Structure 1
Amino acid sequence: MVRTNNKSTKSRTKSTEQEVTQEATQVQDQDLDFDIDPELLGAEYNQVRRPVLPYGIVINDNPAGILIPEDQLEKANWLAMPDDDDLTTVTLSEDVTGLLLTKARILVLGFIPEYIRYKSDVPDVGGTVVGLYDEYKLNLDKKTMDVVSEHALVFLDENNRPMHSTPIVIRFKNVALWSFKAARDEFYRLLEKTFSDYFKVPFSGKNDKWRSLGVIDCQFKAVKEGEGNNKSYCCKTVSYTKPTINNLPQLYLGKPQHKNSIWNLHDTIAGFTEAPALPASEELEVKVLPPAGKPGEKTKTSRGSHNKPPRKISQVEEDDDFEDELEEEESEFDDDFDDDFSDDED
């Protein structure tokens, strides 16, 4: 796991932030009447850009759940950082230590529609996006392709208080995706019906922003899936708390202060649900390749202190390409940020 939150980086960043704040304050003091060219207020300069958000990893193992790496907890501004005894180490291509959640109270701020991409170990085209699942499902080859969808989530404590201030992105895929999607959609439908009964208003489906106030209180479990000797553990959403008239106030954050707090987070993920990397359907020629035949690697996890040897368990489906993609986006953002400061100094 690449750690970028060392002390020297923190102190350097903090010092830079202080200098920028001081310079900005001086400029404001010198020019309180900030007049700009009205052209710059025009909508023609608006552009949707996908945000760089912290991430978690779906663990298809026993125990199964969502692992949020330590450095991503910090980037998400996790309010009460876990002790070493509460951490789990999972061996993917390298050891990743973080907080493993086998059950969670979740708000879904947004998600990208299901799409198909080649598995990361497929030669030449590994990780390449095929297209939206609804358009290309007839071309799906389960041996060489995955169906995936990223979700921007907020994790809540038992009192429905957010445990972090920046949304966390989770990439669900294949069995884990369909399982979570089924629970998610069923929960929202029941929530809408219960809301209608509770407030005695006509029943209607709701949009994703309204639904983002619904608390999905769910549990993940390792379930073996597959055929014959190819069965392996998958992370499935096995249960969730069903909305009722009695528990609706705990499962829907509709009070003004709650609504405003959560909906303000939608600005944080602006551009997240855009999928500019997905190709236009008429431009893509789908190649169905033979299976790569790469055997699964044994993995291991450990709970407790970092000094304890990891406890061996069966198998974890790796999603290192998701980590790599997000870290590359962070690196590009940091490089641009550094270049901006260098240009200012020149």
Structure 2
Amino acid sequence: MKKLVLYVLMISSSFVFAQSTPRVTAKVDTTSIRIGEQFELKIEVNDTTNVIIPKLDKLVGLEIVEDDKIDTIKSRLLKRYVLTGFDSGAYYIPQQQIFIRNQAFLTDSILINVATVPIDTTKQKMFPIKSIQEEPYVFDDFKPYLIWVILGLLLIGLLLYFILKKKKIEEQEEIIPLLPPYEEALEKLKVLDHKLLWQNNKIKQYYSELTEIIREYIEKELKVPALEITSDELINYIKDFKDAETLDLSKETFEKLKGLLQEADLVKFAKSKPLSHEIEEDRKDAEDILNSMKPKPVIEEEDDELE
């Protein structure tokens, strides 16, 4: 009787010990596949407490198709993979290290045979090897070129726009006939008046343009470089013309010209600021100078025709 009880206790303790010992297994649904076929790998752990199943690695000749999440089935953990192979040969699924309560356990390695698919050449007609086929073009292939084409068209459009606009302006511009020097000078004086330069405290610019009108007129009428010489040199030129009686200019007009040129030099170089009535007087003197130097009309004497 004692021996029977002892025997039962030993069997019970062995069973409890076996149940409490962690155990890991790895199995596949087939060990032989053809190229491209898929098979299933399952890793089971008979424990659920503090278990770590690392990612399947160190595969050679085999590829993972699916990697499912770990399932808990009662008191077991199940990890499922779907694998395949694309090269014929024999390949091992190496031992996988599973950690249970910080203790490492190894699965068995599994040999997988990947076989080629036999071809029955008596039934299957053989075709020649096809050349490499190029991928069809898509919109993204042309996008970089399309951007440059659009930019080029825009540039051409802008150039045509400005060319046509310039041509239109030129066509609309009236051809202004050349005026005689005296009339041209009077027109420039009117334009100068409308600018209101000295009224806006631009006195230096005003005197520069005023004397330039007088100098340009003298240069065209007397054929002297009035725009390029100094005021003193210009006065000497005018004095020589007057002394030689080639220019009919009164002493009063000569003094006005001399005073206007000297006043302009003071404004431009000595920063002089004449008063309003002085500026208006200089403007009047400028017109008087032009009137006094205006060419006299040529009167042609008609000879009586001899009968």
TM-score scaled by structure 2? 0.16
**Higher RCO (CA-CA < 8 Å; seq separation 6+):** 1
Question: Higher strand fraction: Structure 1 or Structure 2?
Answer: 1
Question: Higher helix fraction: Structure 1 or Structure 2?
Answer: 2
Which protein has the larger Cα radius of gyration, Structure 1 or Structure 2? 2
TM-score scaled by structure 1? 0.15
